[in-house]
């Protein structure tokens, strides 16, 4: 049987999550690291015909100038998860992967992201020309690496919220906005998603950016039988919320207030210093409670940038609740971790699931992947254990149908 070759194209390829995912994948391919944190390596998912890690090739684009080796070395030094000798063995492979990284676009992404761009690409090209350029990159990547398919994963910085209009809900109307070169109608993530789906590439939006998988792009994905899913990877505080909030509902305890304070220090934290970008992230994090509890307690999510933390993040949550006879009680938790090391194994999982869905001819939203996202598209269920049941049921059906 011919060995499948699958490409992974990261939007935001020089960012910490993409870099960690690539370094981790190389270590897994070499067999020098255990797949801790990857759901696809435990039962019942390991019985699925998922693409093996050694069959993955990586590429992508970024708005910043730099070298993948430098980004990876910085990350490894900060997290101290790899010694120098082990990292040096990866340098030829990292240089090979980073050789063809493209200069991405930051069209209509706001001041915080635009200021990160090495050059203001995209201004000289129409929206349709930018879409075609991205499609040509994906074709070139697939051809040069002799790949069977390419999975596109958006790991770029959080964009400001995009006000959605009627034309975002209809494919023909959305295409009309692209032809009219209406730059206010899209963000950069919209162009990447539309280009990927148009090219027949499965697409994962791991960011909170709502401009990526608008209804028109999802409609196109269903038409083209291309699997897509988002939004906003669930890696830390919200993961705990989605597991813990059902406890209060199961015990009929009335949550009065749930307040969370987050500090983080990487590029994501820097971008989220900007109010417009931070609002997109908070909207994604703050909707879980009402969905799970069935009512809206007083709730606040605060995100602050602390440069000295670098890739680490800390979340402190205070939950004030009411029990029997009106007694007021509280629960607190602190979540500390490395943002990239929490996210990267999920990204690799999503790539493997997306490739399987594509090979099976499945198109549109992959709702069985809801447990991976803070704001899963097409899914009203936010309890983590129920979302995980969706994934288990998908694996069971897949095993039955071989």
Please report the pLDDT score of residue 194 as a whole number.
Answer: 98
Lowest mean pLDDT among 100-104, 279-283, 286-290, 310-314: 279-283
Ramachandran region, residue 232 (left: φ > 0; alpha: ψ -120 to 50; beta: rest): left
- 192-201 per-position pLDDT tens digit: 999 999 999 9
Name the pLDDT band for 270 (thresholds 50, 70, 90): low
CATH 3.40.50.720 matches 6-233+341-400: yes
Please report the pLDDT score of residue 265 as a whole number.
Answer: 80
CATH 3.40.50.1000 matches 237-336: no
Query: In this structure, what token pair is assigned to residue 146?
Result: 């002799």
Q: What is the C-alpha separation between 109 and 282, in angstroms, rounded?
A: 17
Q: Write 92-96 long-range contacts (CB < 8 A, 24+).
A: 93/26, 94/22, 94/23, 94/26, 94/68, 94/69, 95/67, 95/68, 95/69
- 129-178 per-position pLDDT tens digit: 999 999 999 999 999 999 999 999 999 998 999 999 999 999 999 999 99
For the chain, give every domain's residue range: 6-233+341-400, 237-336
Q: How many CB atoms lie within 10 A of CB 67?
A: 14
List the end-to-end C-alpha distance of the chain, in Å, as a whole number.
16
Query: In this structure, what token pair is assigned to residue 325?
Result: 């006879």
pLDDT at 14 over 60: yes
Scan for tokens 């897949």, then name that residue: 398
pTM: predicted TM-score of the whole model, two decimal places: 0.93
Name the pLDDT band for 223 (thresholds 50, 70, 90): very high
Q: What is the C-alpha separation between 350 and 307, in angstroms, rounded?
A: 29
Beta bridge partners of 254: 322
């Amino acid at each position: 049987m011919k060995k499948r070759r699958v490409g992974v194209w990261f939007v935001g390829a020089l960012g910490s999550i993409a870099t960690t995912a690539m370094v981790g994948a190389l270590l897994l391919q070499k067999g020098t690291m255990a797949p801790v944190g990857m759901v696809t390596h435990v039962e019942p998912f390991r019985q699925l015909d998922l693409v093996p890690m050694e069959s993955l090739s990586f590429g992508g684009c970024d708005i910043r100038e730099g070298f993948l080796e430098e980004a990876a070395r910085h990350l490894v030094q900060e997290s101290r998860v790899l010694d120098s000798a082990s990292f040096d063995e990866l340098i030829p492979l990292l240089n090979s992967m980073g050789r063809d990284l493209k200069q991405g676009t930051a069209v209509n992404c706001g001041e915080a992201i635009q200021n990160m761009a090495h050059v203001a690409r995209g201004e000289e090209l129409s929206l349709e020309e930018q879409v075609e350029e991205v499609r040509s990159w994906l074709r070139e990547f697939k051809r040069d690496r002799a790949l069977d398919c390419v999975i596109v994963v958006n790991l770029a910085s959080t964009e400001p919220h995009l006000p959605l209009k009627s034309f975002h809900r209809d494919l023909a109307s959305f295409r009309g906005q692209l032809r009219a070169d209406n730059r206010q109608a899209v963000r950069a993530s919209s162009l990447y998603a539309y280009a990927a789906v148009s090219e027949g590439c499965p697409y994962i939006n791991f960011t909170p950016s709502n401009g990526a998988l608008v209804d028109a792009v999802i409609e196109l994905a269903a038409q083209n039988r291309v699997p897509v899913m988002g939004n906003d990877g669930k890696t830390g505080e919200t993961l705990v919320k989605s597991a813990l909030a059902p406890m209060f509902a199961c015990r009929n305890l009335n949550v009065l207030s749930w307040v969370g304070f987050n500090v983080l220090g990487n590029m994501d934290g820097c971008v989220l210093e900007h109010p417009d970008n931070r609002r997109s992230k908070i909207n994604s994090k703050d909707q879980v409670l009402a969905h799970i509890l069935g009512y809206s307690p007083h709730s606040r999510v605060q995100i602050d940038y602390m440069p000295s933390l670098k890739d680490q993040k800390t979340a402190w949550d205070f939950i004030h609740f009411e029990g029997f006879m009106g007694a007021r009680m509280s629960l607190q938790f602190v979540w500390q971790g490395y943002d990239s090391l929490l996210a990267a194994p999920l990204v690799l999982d999503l790539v493997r699931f997306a490739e399987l869905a594509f090979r099976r001819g499945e198109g549109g939203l992959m709702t069985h992947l809801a447990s991976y996202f803070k704001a899963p598209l097409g899914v009203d269920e936010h309890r983590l254990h129920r979302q995980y049941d969706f994934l288990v049921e998908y694996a069971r059906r897949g095993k039955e149908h071989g």
